[in-house]
Protein backbone atom coordinates (compact mmCIF):
# COMPACT_ATOMS: atom_id res chain seq x y z
CA UNK A 1 0.00 0.00 0.00
CA UNK A 2 1.36 3.45 -0.91
CA UNK A 3 1.79 6.12 1.77
CA UNK A 4 -1.01 8.16 0.13
CA UNK A 5 -3.37 5.22 0.74
CA UNK A 6 -2.20 5.01 4.36
CA UNK A 7 -2.76 8.74 4.85
CA UNK A 8 -6.26 8.53 3.33
CA UNK A 9 -7.19 6.11 6.10
CA UNK A 10 -6.08 8.39 8.94
CA UNK A 11 -6.48 11.96 7.74
CA UNK A 12 -9.93 12.23 9.37
CA UNK A 13 -8.95 10.59 12.69
CA UNK A 14 -8.33 13.27 15.33
CA UNK A 15 -4.86 13.37 16.87
CA UNK A 16 -1.57 15.23 16.86
CA UNK A 17 0.31 13.48 14.09
CA UNK A 18 1.24 15.46 10.97
CA UNK A 19 1.39 13.97 7.49
CA UNK A 20 5.20 14.19 7.54
CA UNK A 21 5.31 12.39 10.88
CA UNK A 22 2.92 9.72 9.63
CA UNK A 23 5.33 9.15 6.74
CA UNK A 24 8.20 8.52 9.20
CA UNK A 25 6.06 6.12 11.26
CA UNK A 26 4.94 4.25 8.14
CA UNK A 27 8.54 3.89 6.91
CA UNK A 28 9.62 2.52 10.31
CA UNK A 29 6.72 0.07 10.48
CA UNK A 30 7.44 -1.08 6.93
CA UNK A 31 11.00 -2.02 7.99
CA UNK A 32 9.62 -4.55 10.50
CA UNK A 33 9.47 -8.09 9.14
CA UNK A 34 6.84 -10.78 9.68
CA UNK A 35 7.25 -12.04 13.25
CA UNK A 36 8.58 -8.70 14.49
CA UNK A 37 6.85 -6.69 17.20
CA UNK A 38 5.88 -3.02 16.92
CA UNK A 39 4.84 -1.32 20.15
CA UNK A 40 2.98 1.98 20.45
CA UNK A 41 2.63 3.73 23.82
CA UNK A 42 -0.27 6.22 23.72
CA UNK A 43 -2.81 5.67 20.95
CA UNK A 44 -5.60 8.18 21.74
CA UNK A 45 -8.15 7.61 18.95
CA UNK A 46 -5.92 5.50 16.76
CA UNK A 47 -4.43 7.96 14.28
CA UNK A 48 -0.86 6.71 14.68
CA UNK A 49 -1.99 3.13 15.43
CA UNK A 50 -3.69 2.88 12.04
CA UNK A 51 -0.56 4.21 10.31
CA UNK A 52 1.64 1.60 12.00
CA UNK A 53 -0.78 -1.28 11.43
CA UNK A 54 -1.45 -0.37 7.80
CA UNK A 55 2.21 0.00 6.90
CA UNK A 56 3.48 -3.08 8.77
CA UNK A 57 4.18 -6.33 6.95
CA UNK A 58 1.59 -9.09 7.25
CA UNK A 59 2.68 -11.18 10.22
CA UNK A 60 4.24 -8.30 12.15
CA UNK A 61 2.53 -7.83 15.50
CA UNK A 62 1.30 -4.33 16.47
CA UNK A 63 0.69 -3.77 20.19
CA UNK A 64 -1.07 -0.57 21.26
CA UNK A 65 -0.59 0.26 24.96
CA UNK A 66 -3.26 2.79 25.85
CA UNK A 67 -5.15 2.95 29.18
CA UNK A 68 -7.86 5.41 28.05
CA UNK A 69 -7.96 6.40 31.70
CA UNK A 70 -8.38 10.17 31.42
CA UNK A 71 -4.90 11.43 32.25
CA UNK A 72 -2.19 12.90 30.00
CA UNK A 73 -4.70 12.92 27.14
CA UNK A 74 -3.45 15.87 25.06
CA UNK A 75 -1.93 19.35 25.39
CA UNK A 76 -2.73 20.65 28.89
CA UNK A 77 -5.06 17.69 29.61
CA UNK A 78 -3.18 16.10 32.52
CA UNK A 79 -5.93 14.95 34.93
CA UNK A 80 -9.73 14.73 35.01
CA UNK A 81 -10.58 13.58 31.49
CA UNK A 82 -12.18 10.21 32.32
CA UNK A 83 -15.43 10.93 30.41
CA UNK A 84 -13.53 12.09 27.34
CA UNK A 85 -11.26 9.04 27.61
CA UNK A 86 -14.26 6.68 27.57
CA UNK A 87 -15.30 8.28 24.29
CA UNK A 88 -11.69 8.02 23.05
CA UNK A 89 -11.76 4.30 23.77
CA UNK A 90 -14.93 3.74 21.70
CA UNK A 91 -13.59 5.97 18.91
CA UNK A 92 -10.26 4.09 18.96
CA UNK A 93 -11.97 0.73 18.42
CA UNK A 94 -14.31 2.14 15.76
CA UNK A 95 -11.43 3.83 13.89
CA UNK A 96 -9.38 0.63 13.83
CA UNK A 97 -12.38 -1.29 12.47
CA UNK A 98 -13.16 1.35 9.84
CA UNK A 99 -9.54 1.26 8.67
CA UNK A 100 -9.68 -2.56 8.44
CA UNK A 101 -6.84 -3.11 10.92
CA UNK A 102 -8.71 -4.19 14.09
CA UNK A 103 -7.44 -7.74 13.74
CA UNK A 104 -3.85 -6.56 13.24
CA UNK A 105 -3.61 -4.60 16.52
CA UNK A 106 -3.51 -6.02 20.04
CA UNK A 107 -4.78 -3.37 22.42
CA UNK A 108 -3.34 -3.51 25.93
CA UNK A 109 -5.55 -1.29 28.04
CA UNK A 110 -3.00 -0.41 30.73
CA UNK A 111 -0.47 2.20 31.76
CA UNK A 112 2.82 1.60 29.98
CA UNK A 113 4.78 0.93 33.19
CA UNK A 114 2.38 -1.92 34.00
CA UNK A 115 2.33 -3.43 30.53
CA UNK A 116 5.79 -4.97 30.24
CA UNK A 117 4.42 -8.46 30.91
CA UNK A 118 1.96 -8.06 28.01
CA UNK A 119 4.72 -7.87 25.41
CA UNK A 120 7.00 -10.85 24.91
CA UNK A 121 10.52 -10.54 23.51
CA UNK A 122 12.33 -7.76 21.69
CA UNK A 123 10.72 -4.80 19.98
CA UNK A 124 11.63 -3.91 16.40
CA UNK A 125 9.84 -0.54 16.41
CA UNK A 126 8.90 1.38 19.55
CA UNK A 127 6.75 4.49 19.25
CA UNK A 128 6.41 6.57 22.45
CA UNK A 129 3.57 9.09 22.66
CA UNK A 130 2.03 8.44 26.09
CA UNK A 131 2.30 10.62 29.20
CA UNK A 132 4.56 13.59 28.45
CA UNK A 133 5.50 14.48 32.03
CA UNK A 134 9.19 13.94 32.87
CA UNK A 135 8.75 10.89 35.18
CA UNK A 136 6.63 8.67 32.92
CA UNK A 137 8.32 9.90 29.72
CA UNK A 138 11.72 9.01 31.17
CA UNK A 139 10.47 5.60 32.36
CA UNK A 140 9.08 4.85 28.87
CA UNK A 141 12.35 5.77 27.16
CA UNK A 142 14.51 3.96 29.71
CA UNK A 143 12.49 0.80 30.43
CA UNK A 144 10.84 0.23 27.06
CA UNK A 145 13.88 1.51 25.19
CA UNK A 146 15.93 -1.33 26.70
CA UNK A 147 13.68 -3.76 24.90
CA UNK A 148 14.33 -2.38 21.41
CA UNK A 149 16.30 -4.92 19.36
CA UNK A 150 19.77 -4.15 17.98
CA UNK A 151 19.27 -1.96 14.87
CA UNK A 152 15.65 -1.44 15.93
CA UNK A 153 13.86 1.91 15.77
CA UNK A 154 12.76 4.20 18.58
CA UNK A 155 10.38 7.04 17.74
CA UNK A 156 9.38 9.73 20.24
CA UNK A 157 6.64 12.27 19.70
CA UNK A 158 6.73 15.76 21.28
CA UNK A 159 10.49 15.66 21.54
CA UNK A 160 12.14 19.09 21.61
CA UNK A 161 8.64 20.45 22.12
CA UNK A 162 7.29 19.16 25.46
CA UNK A 163 9.45 20.06 28.49
CA UNK A 164 9.03 16.65 30.16
CA UNK A 165 9.81 14.66 27.03
CA UNK A 166 12.79 16.83 26.13
CA UNK A 167 14.32 16.56 29.62
CA UNK A 168 13.78 12.79 29.51
CA UNK A 169 15.57 12.63 26.14
CA UNK A 170 18.44 14.68 27.50
CA UNK A 171 18.72 12.42 30.53
CA UNK A 172 18.34 9.05 28.82
CA UNK A 173 19.45 9.46 25.22
CA UNK A 174 21.49 12.54 24.42
CA UNK A 175 24.84 11.18 25.59
CA UNK A 176 23.86 7.52 25.88
CA UNK A 177 25.76 4.73 24.20
CA UNK A 178 23.00 2.85 22.38
CA UNK A 179 20.63 5.05 20.35
CA UNK A 180 21.80 7.08 17.36
CA UNK A 181 19.77 10.21 16.66
CA UNK A 182 18.59 9.93 13.05
CA UNK A 183 16.61 13.17 12.81
CA UNK A 184 13.13 14.53 13.33
CA UNK A 185 9.96 15.48 11.53
CA UNK A 186 8.86 18.45 13.62
CA UNK A 187 8.55 16.92 17.11
CA UNK A 188 8.79 13.29 16.03
CA UNK A 189 12.37 12.22 16.76
CA UNK A 190 13.76 9.03 15.28
CA UNK A 191 16.57 6.96 16.84
CA UNK A 192 18.23 3.73 15.73
CA UNK A 193 19.74 1.23 18.18
CA UNK A 194 23.02 0.99 16.31
CA UNK A 195 25.29 3.57 17.93
CA UNK A 196 28.89 2.54 18.00
CA UNK A 197 29.64 3.67 21.55
CA UNK A 198 33.03 5.25 20.88
CA UNK A 199 33.45 8.57 22.75
CA UNK A 200 33.72 10.54 19.47
CA UNK A 201 30.52 9.07 18.04
CA UNK A 202 28.70 9.61 21.33
CA UNK A 203 29.83 13.22 21.49
CA UNK A 204 28.77 13.87 17.90
CA UNK A 205 25.43 12.13 18.57
CA UNK A 206 24.86 14.28 21.67
CA UNK A 207 25.86 17.41 19.77
CA UNK A 208 23.29 16.70 17.03
CA UNK A 209 20.58 16.49 19.69
CA UNK A 210 21.76 19.63 21.47
CA UNK A 211 21.42 21.42 18.15
CA UNK A 212 17.64 20.88 18.41
CA UNK A 213 17.46 23.02 21.55
CA UNK A 214 16.94 26.37 19.79
CA UNK A 215 13.86 24.83 18.13
CA UNK A 216 12.76 23.61 21.57
CA UNK A 217 13.09 27.12 23.00
CA UNK A 218 11.08 28.52 20.11
CA UNK A 219 8.34 25.95 20.79
CA UNK A 220 8.28 26.88 24.46
CA UNK A 221 7.93 30.53 23.56
CA UNK A 222 5.06 29.75 21.18
CA UNK A 223 3.31 27.71 23.89
CA UNK A 224 3.65 30.54 26.40
CA UNK A 225 2.30 33.05 23.88
CA UNK A 226 -0.58 30.77 22.91
CA UNK A 227 -1.42 30.23 26.58
CA UNK A 228 -1.49 34.01 27.02
CA UNK A 229 -3.61 34.16 23.83
CA UNK A 230 -1.22 36.58 22.12
CA UNK A 231 -2.00 35.39 18.60
CA UNK A 232 -0.45 38.23 16.60
CA UNK A 233 2.89 37.78 18.35
CA UNK A 234 2.76 34.04 17.65
CA UNK A 235 2.27 34.79 13.96
CA UNK A 236 5.37 37.05 14.11
CA UNK A 237 7.55 34.45 15.91
CA UNK A 238 6.57 31.50 13.73
CA UNK A 239 5.58 33.19 10.46
CA UNK A 240 2.49 30.92 10.46
CA UNK A 241 -1.05 30.76 11.78
CA UNK A 242 -0.85 30.01 15.51
CA UNK A 243 -1.12 26.35 16.43
CA UNK A 244 0.14 24.29 19.38
CA UNK A 245 3.60 23.01 18.36
CA UNK A 246 3.92 19.29 17.82
C1 LIG B 1 -0.94 12.58 22.69
S2 LIG B 1 -2.05 11.25 22.93
C3 LIG B 1 -1.51 10.04 21.76
C4 LIG B 1 -1.82 10.44 20.34
C5 LIG B 1 -1.75 9.30 19.34
N6 LIG B 1 -0.43 8.71 19.28
C7 LIG B 1 -2.19 9.82 17.96
O8 LIG B 1 -1.43 9.74 17.01
O9 LIG B 1 -3.30 10.32 17.84
C10 LIG B 1 -1.49 10.60 24.45
C11 LIG B 1 -2.20 9.33 24.87
O12 LIG B 1 -1.42 8.71 25.90
C13 LIG B 1 -2.29 8.05 26.76
N14 LIG B 1 -1.58 7.82 28.03
C15 LIG B 1 -1.54 8.61 29.13
N16 LIG B 1 -0.78 8.04 30.07
C17 LIG B 1 -0.29 6.90 29.56
C18 LIG B 1 0.56 5.87 30.05
N19 LIG B 1 1.11 5.93 31.28
N20 LIG B 1 0.81 4.80 29.25
C21 LIG B 1 0.30 4.74 28.00
N22 LIG B 1 -0.51 5.70 27.47
C23 LIG B 1 -0.80 6.76 28.24
C24 LIG B 1 -3.49 8.96 26.88
O25 LIG B 1 -4.64 8.21 27.28
C26 LIG B 1 -3.59 9.55 25.47
O27 LIG B 1 -4.55 8.88 24.70
Q: What is the CATH number for 188?
A: 3.40.50.150
State whether 240 and 120 are in the same domain. no
**Contact 149 CB / ligand 1 (< 6 Å):** no
pTM for this entry: 0.95
d(CA 134, CA 149): 24
Predicted pLDDT at 230: 82
**Contact 246 CB / ligand 1 (< 6 Å):** no
Q: Which of 203, 12, 195 is nearest to 95 (CA)?
A: 12
Predicted pLDDT at 175: 93
State whether 207 and 218 are in the same domain. no
Predicted pLDDT at 100: 96
Q: Which residues of the chain are under the pLDDT cut of 50?
A: none
**Contact 136 CB / ligand 1 (< 6 Å):** yes
State whether 171 and 95 are in the same domain. yes
Torsional sign, CA 15, 20, 21, 25: positive
State whether 241 and 143 are in the same domain. no
**Contact 73 CB / ligand 1 (< 6 Å):** yes
Q: Which of 128, 123, 193, 192 is nearest to 156 (CA)?
A: 128
Predicted pLDDT at 227: 86
Predicted pLDDT at 56: 96
**Contact 25 CB / ligand 1 (< 6 Å):** no
Q: Please give the residue range of the domain that contains residue 224.
A: 213-246
Predicted pLDDT at 185: 98
Predicted pLDDT at 184: 98
Q: Which of 7, 28, 51, 66 to mutate to test the pocket of ligand 1 (most atoms within 8 A of CB)?
A: 66
Cβ-contact 51, 96 below 8 angstroms: no
d(CA 85, CA 160): 26
State whether 51 and 132 are in the same domain. yes
State whether 177 and 166 are in the same domain. yes
Amino acid sequence: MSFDDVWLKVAEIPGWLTQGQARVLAAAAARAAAGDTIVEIGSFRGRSTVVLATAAAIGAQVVAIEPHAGNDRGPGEIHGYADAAATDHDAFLANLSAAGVADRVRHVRAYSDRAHGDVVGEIAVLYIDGAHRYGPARADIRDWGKRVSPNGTLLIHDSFSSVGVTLAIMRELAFGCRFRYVGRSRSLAEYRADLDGSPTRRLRNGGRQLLQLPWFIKNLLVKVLLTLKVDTLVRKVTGREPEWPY
